[in-house]
A and B are shown apart, each in its own frame.
Chain A
Amino acid sequence: MNQTHNPYFPYPVRVEQIVTETEDEKLKTFKLRFLNPEDERKFTYIPGQFAELSVPGKGEVPIGIASSPTEKGFLLFTVNEVGLVTTYLHMIKEGYVMGVRGPLGNWYPWEEMEGKNVVIVGGGFAFTTLRSSIVYMLDPQNRQRFGEITVVYGARSPGLLLYREELSDWEKRNDIRMHITVDATDDPEWKYNKGFVPAVAKEKIKSADNAIAIVCGPPIMIRFTQPVLEELGFPPERIILSLEMRMKCGIGMCGRCNIGDRYVCKDGPVFSLAQLKELPPEY
């Protein structure tokens, strides 16, 4: 059987650049380049999808793709240091050869979002596929396909925000409304919002008219953001969530990431709140 048809086969990539994102050094962004250009052509993805990072001798981890398909020649993954594979990843050096398997899972509902206002609510390190989405929408080829773009993004402190340079670039643009916030800070230079994401969302998001909301973050943030959005008039069909789950195969076969009869790896990770309400609350 041709290896390219083997869904378990990781494409070889080289780690071109490693950027430490946060002051606690728990989050690093890895820029990966395919060793074989034909593999890059096969790896066509859409914002919202994820991939399995393959570390020889350690294993695989499912991580959201942080780069946008409009950025050619590389992939970005921002990885939190938590377990065996990610801890090892945090120790590797630029030049390291590893594997990438994917793209996997579904994506944000881009067809449905076309012509609509897009509201993005993100918290902590769950901002990766949201970065992909923002870069994708701001691309000159795509920007006119969407209405207003409003982003509420928060972290516990300024030093824990991801992609800080890009955040401040986006702040300066007039085709995206950024509302960056931190839970608390004593930094006198801090010029953005202070307060939890749900509270800032309530203050800054004006309307649900012709809008779709994408929400990614820790469970507690999602729980308190949901009523804010519902009060604004977002129906559950237009509240989009991206879920996390322990995964192995990434193709709906190994059996562990199910919620009811759906697999988060294959039928997700993106679900609408309406879809989730139909499923057993086991996630």
Chain B
Amino acid sequence: MLERTFTIKEWTEALKKLRSFYRVFAPFKEGDFHSFREFDGSGSPDFNFGNTRLSAKALIYPQSERMFDYTLDEKNPDVNLYKEAVKDLSPQAIVGIRPCDVKGFRLMKRNFDNEEYRDPWWVQRFESTILVGFGCNDPCPTCFCTSVGGGPFNEEGLDVIAYNLGERFVLRALTEKGEVFLAKAEGDTGPGEDERRKMEELKRSSVEKISSRVATDQLKLKEVNALFSAPFWEETAFSCINCGTCTFFCPTCWCFDIQDEVFGKEGDRLRNWDSCMFPLFTLHGSGHNPRENKVQRVRQRFMHKLKYYVDKYNDGVQCSGCGRCVRYCPVNIDIREVAEKMNSY
């Protein structure tokens, strides 16, 4: 497969060229954090980061998006008729995404693209996206991708993998889509012997830096109702304030809400990220709520990721091990501890 090397400066120039073919999204430093932003040709993306604060989830699955629009104007012959909202679904490249966040998309695909139904917008965005992953040289202390089937240089689902060798980046295409991308980026030929050695060394040392080990091997074997009524949920949920930060940051949380909004006589049907942490998520019109208490909602989040998903798809847990929910939880609820409790129950 095609390989190319770039200095940091050359890489920024290459991204400028690539803007003719793709909408290019890359990490930019904003305050203390890195965020994905569309590269408008000015400034430079910064590839020296642990991980972006938010995953790239929103680039394929926007936090809020218009689904349909309609007019309520009775003089208009099209009154009350839903029309699909116009969207920009042109090719985009997500450059600098970490392998764990790519895994997030792969897990999410199960939800949005299955035998019975395809979510048209998620699928079209996913299919028009090139994932240019950057391996993790320095995983965070909260990272545990290696426990959930991933790894800091895991190539699964990526179109291109990049190695950050400090002064130079080495990029290797992994798919046909990636070949096309890399050919358009031009750049120097592949790495020399010395650089290849460094790449191998990075791959090895990064894995060694991941100190968290989370066992999930017994989850499939557990009886669902036994786990559901386990005594540890009260304690697990005790400190939770139901803020929803965990679901907001999670690259594998896919739940959404659908709402109609009206401005004057024009209306939109919107889809917005939602969260199982909120009581309104499941409140019936009758007032009945199957998950009215926070312990039920906290249990739902963990049971979904670590048991229901496991049972349903028989392919591991619904977690990429990115560790964001651990890092950003204001009350230090740690999915690694909950997984241990469930796995050893």
A residues bordering B, Cβ < 8 Å? 1, 3, 5-10, 12, 54-61, 80, 82-83, 86, 96-99, 219, 244-246, 248-249, 251-258, 260-261, 266, 278-283
Contacts and interface: CB of A to CB of B under 8 A. Distances in A.
20 contacts: A9-B68, A10-B82, A12-B80, A12-B81, A57-B267, A97-B79, A99-B80, A219-B288, A244-B284, A246-B284, A248-B257, A253-B112, A254-B257, A255-B255, A255-B276, A258-B308, A280-B225, A281-B225, A282-B228, A282-B296
Given A256-B274, A279-B225, 10 more contacts: A1-B120, A7-B118, A56-B260, A249-B258, A252-B111, A252-B117, A254-B274, A255-B256, A256-B281, A256-B282
A265 to B, nearest CB: 11
Contacts of A55: 260
Contacts of A60: 258
A233 B246 CA distance: 48
Q: Is the interface of B mostly helix, strand, loop or mixed?
A: mixed
B290 A253 contact: no
A101 B311 CA distance: 30
B79 to A, nearest CB: 6
B256 A248 contact: yes
B276 A280 contact: no
The CB with the most chain B CB atoms within 10 A, among A5, A54, A98, A245, is that of A54
Interface string B247-264: 000000011111110100
- Nearest 6 pairs of A and B residues by beta carbon: A255-B255, A261-B308, A82-B285, A280-B228, A97-B80, A261-B312
Contacts of A282: 228, 290-291, 296, 300
B202 to A, nearest CB: 37
Interface residues of B, number: 51
A254 B284 contact: no
Contacts of A98: 80
Q: Is the interface of A mostly helix, strand, loop or mixed?
A: loop
A59 B260 contact: yes
Contacts of B112: 253
Given A5-B120, A254-B274, A246 B282 contact: yes
Nearest to A218: B286
The CB with the most chain A CB atoms within 10 A, among B79, B260, B281, is that of B260
Contacts of B255: 254-256
B256 A254 contact: yes
B22 interface: no
A60 B68 CA distance: 13
Contact of B224 (A80, A255, A260): A260
A256 B118 CA distance: 18
B49 interface: no
Contacts of B63: none
Nearest to B89: A1
Nearest to B275: A255
Contacts of A244: 284
Contacts of A61: 285
B40 interface: no
A56 B80 CA distance: 6
B224 A8 contact: no
B340 to A, nearest CB: 21
Interface in B257-311: 257-260, 262, 267, 269, 274, 276, 281-286, 288, 290-291, 296, 300, 303-304, 307-309, 311
B338 interface: no
Contacts of A252: 111, 114, 116-117
Contacts of A7: 117-120
A280 B224 contact: yes
Contacts of B259: 59
Interface string B61-77: 00000011010100000
B337 interface: no
B46 interface: no
A124 to B, nearest CB: 11
B244 to A, nearest CB: 13
Contact of B84 (A3, A12, A249): A3
A253 B254 contact: yes
B124 interface: yes
Interface in B33-86: 67-68, 70, 72, 79-82, 84
A101 B228 CA distance: 34
A227 to B, nearest CB: 21
Interface in B73-129: 79-82, 84, 111-112, 114, 116-120, 124
A6 B120 CA distance: 6
A280 B300 CA distance: 11
Contacts of A58: 260
B195 to A, nearest CB: 43
Nearest to B260: A59
Contacts of A3: 84
Contacts of B84: 3, 6, 9
A251 B117 CA distance: 7
A60 B309 CA distance: 27
Contacts of B70: 56-57
Contacts of B309: 261
Contacts of A12: 80-82
